[in-house]
Amino acid sequence: MSKYALCIGINDYPGTGSDLAGCVNDAKDWSEALKNRGFTVSKLFDKQATGKGIRESIKSVIAKGKNGDTVVI
């Protein structure tokens, strides 16, 4: 059985004045924790995490999973 994960962290919300401070760090921490547990991890941070980028990455990580695998988003 395989294990796949997608970690998404967005701190920067351009033009909104609503930037956050810890989301990217949290996603990096989750990524390391999941790697340590045998997951193959994909990551999206800030500018990579567009609506399109997120949808494509979710589709991609789900497509990797087969019956009995574990997928974490």
For the chain, give the percent of residues with pLDDT over 70: 100
Interatomic CA distance for residues 16 and 66, integer angstroms: 40
Residue 34: how many other CB atoms lie within 10 Å: 19
Q: Above 90 in pLDDT, residue 15?
A: no
In 3D, which of 17, 14, 34 has the Cα closest to residue 26?
A: 34
Angle at 41 between CA 50 and CA 60, to 5 degrees: 55
For the chain, give the percent of residues with pLDDT over 90: 95
Contacts of 31 (CB under 8 A, 6+ apart): 5, 7, 41, 43
